[in-house]
Amino acid sequence: MAPSKKEIPVVQVAQPASSGLPPEFQHLLEWLGTGLERMEGIEDERTREEVLALLEGIDVLHRQALGRLLKLVTDLGGSGLVERISQDPVVCTLLEMYDLPEADERTQVERALESVYPYFKSHGGKLEVLGVEEGRVRVRLSGSCEGCPGTATTLTRVVEEALREGFPGFRELVAEEPPPLALDKPIQLGRKPLRRPRWVSVGYLEDLEPGEIRALRPEGTALLLVRLDGEVYAYRNGCPPGSALALHLGRLEDSTLVCPWHGCRYDVRTGKRQDDEEGKLAVLPVAVRDGEIEIAVGMEEVEPH
């Protein structure tokens, strides 16, 4: 039985600013995460195994029931109705705990390319997904990258690699030419501003213990900071990425970060899944300068000299 509201400790939970979760639900998520950690610490092995087996049975029941419920809703009201009910933040969080509903091809492609978009953006370009049909992904590259030497090679090496890793149904990548420039638009003269990563300080290395998992919110963005073998790694704090299920409640097993909600296992050095499942955490660049930890949270323009 779940605890009453007054029994849930009122603590700060790292959540996306747009999650929309009511405070009591945020507190419940924190309480559940703490409870999972305590269950693993049960000294009596038989009791611990029985408790975990009970939780696994409840998980299977809920997963099957929610899956059948979503199918019935889809059959009765179409996929649009599922999207509408998923907009409720509490319902959305519950479905994410069971990886439901299964993402369509377009969503899977967008997730697979999350780590690729910043690469082209940093070079003044823009990668657009035009469509996905039965594993055939159509993209267009525009901006400063358009027509650059090596663009075709980059598309093949970077984009195809990301799709093969993050989109199980990937069959073919098709790069389409951008539309012709309108002749009636004025031509912009002069140099374009340069772009560079925008670094934000998040503390000092000496304050981060080896093996520590820390939740941060620089500029309102929920991030995860991990120190392992003298290196510091940063990711978006959520499993799956973008969700309200905070990963800092998980644990480290050597170099593996274990999600407290789904049991997902990530290589903390790369963000890639290690449990034969597709997916990858969004990696953020980290720099340590004079003992100060800085994270690149975006790009900024710099006027050329």
| Rounded mean pLDDT, 211-229 | 86
Quote the pTM value.
0.44
* Cβ proximity of 111 and 166 under 8 Å: yes
What per-residue confidence (pLDDT) applies to 227?
A: 92
Identify the CATH assignment for 194-302 out of 2.40.40.20, 1.20.1050.10, 3.40.630.30, 2.102.10.10. 2.102.10.10
**To the nearest whole percent, how much of the chain has pLDDT over 70?**
76
Q: How far, in Å, are 110, 119, 120, 241 from residue 158 at the CA level?
A: 14, 9, 10, 20
Which band of pLDDT confidence, cut at 50, 70 and 90, is reported for residue 96?
Answer: confident
Q: Do the domains 105-176 and 194-302 sit in the same CATH topology, yes or no?
A: no
What per-residue confidence (pLDDT) applies to 141?
A: 77
Q: Which residues pair with 294 in a beta bridge?
A: 201, 287
* Domain edges within the chain: 15-97, 105-176, 194-302
Q: Note if the bond before 240 is cis, omega within 30 degrees.
A: yes
Residue whose token pair is 């999350």: 114
3-state secondary structure of 259: coil
Task: Report whether pLDDT(51) > 60.
Answer: yes
Q: What CATH number is given for 105-176 in this structure? A: 3.30.300.130
Q: How far, in Å, are 24, 67, 140 from residue 86 at the CA level?
A: 19, 13, 30
Q: Which range is least confidently modeled, 44-58, 199-213, 271-285?
A: 271-285
| Rounded mean pLDDT, 94-102 | 75
Task: Report whether pLDDT(40) > 50.
Answer: yes
Separation between Cα atoms, residue 197 and residue 119, nearest integer Å: 11
